[in-house]
Each structure stands twice: as C-alpha cells, then as structure tokens.
Amino acid sequence: MVKLAALVVAVALLALLDPAATVVEFAKEDLESDDSLWKLYELWGARHKVARHPGEKLRRFAIFKEQARRVYDLHIEFAGDTPLGLNSFADLSDDEVRRDYRCAKGGAGNGRKKRSFINVKRRTGDGTLPLPVAFDWRSKTCYGHPCLTPVKDQAYNCGACWAFAATAAMESHHAILKNGSLLRLSEQELVDCDTNNGACAGGLAANAFQYVVKWGLTSSAAYPYTARNGTCKSSATFPVLGMTGFARVPAYDEFELLQAVTYGPVVVSIDANNTEFDRYAGGLYPSVKCGRTPDHEMLLVGYGSNHYILRNSYGENWGDKGYMLLPRNFDLHDVFGPCGILLDGATYPEMA
C-alpha cells in the first residue's frame, strides 16, 4: 500500500512538469517556506529522476534550499526576463560539483602568452569585418541529417570534459565533411588509452586529437563509456575515424575564432570555477561573475550578435538543453574575453 501511494505521488508530480523542459522552473513563492521548498525539491527529483535514501535526502534538502535561494538572488541581479530554473546539480554542494566535474588541466595552455592591454582582433556588433552576424550549427543540417550529435553527459566523478569536447568536435566535422553520417565516438577509449591526458582527472582536447591522429578512434558502441578510469582495450577494437591533424586558433583573436566556427565547431576553454556556472539553467550567463583562468573545455558551436553558443558535457538537464549562451565582450582592450574564452585560443580537428 505504501509503495502504491508513493507511485501515485510520483505520477502526480510528473504530471505537473513540462515534458519538454530540461530544468525545473520555480517562482519566489516557492522559497517562502520549508513546505513549499520541499514540494519544489520533490518536483525537481521527479524531473531529474533523483532518488535519495530518506536520511540522505534530508541532508540534500538543506543544500537544495541554499542553492535555490542563491539561484534566485543571481536571477534578480543578472538574469532579467529569463525564467528561474534549477538544473540537475541543485542538491549537490559546490565542492562536490567542482571535485567531480571539473576536468581541464589548467586550461588549454597552448601558446599562452603574457600580454597586457592590446587591441584584440575582434568582430564587433557593427559588422565591420566580413562574417555573418550570427551562426549556429544547432539549426543546420548536413546532407539531410543534424550536424551535431546529441548532448552527452560525462557523469558524476569523472572529469572528462576534454574527451567529450574532442569527440563532439570530431563527430560534427565528420558529419559536415563526410556526407552527413553521424558517428558516436568513444570517450572511454580516450580516457583509458590517451596517456598524454589524465583520464578522469582532467586533460586537453588537443592531446586527444594527437592520439586520434596516431591511432584513430573507435565507436562508443564498441567501447562504451563507464565514467571511470579503466585499462586500455583499443587493441581489441576497430577504429571508425581517422584524422590528418588538428588546427589551432590563436589566442586573443575573436575574429579568427568566429571565422573558424563558421566552418565547424571548435573546442574552447573557459573559467567555470564558480557557482553560477554549476547552477546555470539557461539564458545569458552572468559572465561578470567568472574569472580568467580557463579550467573547463567546451565546444563552441556558434554565436549571436551579443553571445557565444557553447555546448557542455553535463547532459541536457544543465543549461539550455545542454548548451550555454556566454555574453560576448566588445571591449577591444580586454585580452581575455568573457570567462577567459580568448586566453587559450581554440582547437579543431582536420579530418582524413
């Protein structure tokens, strides 16, 4: 009887949720009491399919309450008309998210230079340099198929953003250049076999590209993701993708970065070491809150007149269905770019 009652409650909660939504929206009234917050927590758990042991759930609820109020305060300060939302990290502490999801080893660091105030080559909003005003690979098709594979999830306790950014870039470039066929490449092979990276402890997409140039890469079906360090089994698999090399976009050059993404998505690194990134649930990201030490690799898939479009590897329940809108900064003397996006330049694959 108890199990039946719990099932009825769960069904009722799910009925209140928009099935197309990837975050749980809420209002100021939901924060006014523990009872309303508990109801919000139950809704959030139903949406994200999070089940906690009763004792653990009380501890998690305390974290959830704090995070929901922080999201509200941030929204009031920065978000404007963007709906309030809670992503899949809402009952995790800041330390847990940073420990178990951060992944780039100090940023890309390739060709980083010490430069102070310089004129950054940048396409500003007036369109004076010859690029489209906006570009978005999410809305494009390649030979009748999507150019981007679905957003993936690097999962809890494995800092493998570098592997996911690398495979997403290779998958999309293959679709663009190879008659639109969509591959699903193996992040786990990179985690297990690429000795120039640190597996779940972090790494760089540029190193992953070097591995693929030398060895090729198999499919995720043949070498599935386990979200933990493992023993390399590449000798037992067949590579489905080859690369001739990879290219670098120079640091401090927004024009070259935007130009590159019109040909195919590129891997960038940003400073994600802040609560706002962890709790991001859509809309324009408050970039004034982030630093300038890139520590997380993502895939740049386009841009608008006032923002970059970044694909993360935290699943579709983070951000805008797995994507992030990072405001562009038009200060020509800002060498770093918002959240340090220009500091390390970018990389992208060159396909065989």
Catalytically active residues are 161, 296, 312
CA 136 to chain centre: 16
**What count of Cα atoms within 13 Å lies in the side-chain half-sphere of residue 211?**
27
Distance between CA atoms of residues 252 and 19, nearest Å: 41
Distance between CA atoms of residues 183 and 243, nearest Å: 14
Q: 289 — phi, psi (to 5°)?
A: -85, -15
Distance between CA atoms of residues 270 and 339, nearest Å: 5
Q: Which residues, 6+ apart, have CB-to-CB distance to 31 below 8 Å?
A: 37, 68, 69, 72
Consecutive H or E run containing 98: helix 94-101
Distance between CA atoms of residues 63 and 94, nearest Å: 9
Q: Do 76 and 50 form a contact (C-beta atoms < 8 A)?
A: no
Token match 């690194």: residue? 269
Consecutive H or E run containing 38: helix 34-48
Consecutive H or E run containing 327: strand 323-327
Consecutive H or E run containing 4: helix 2-15
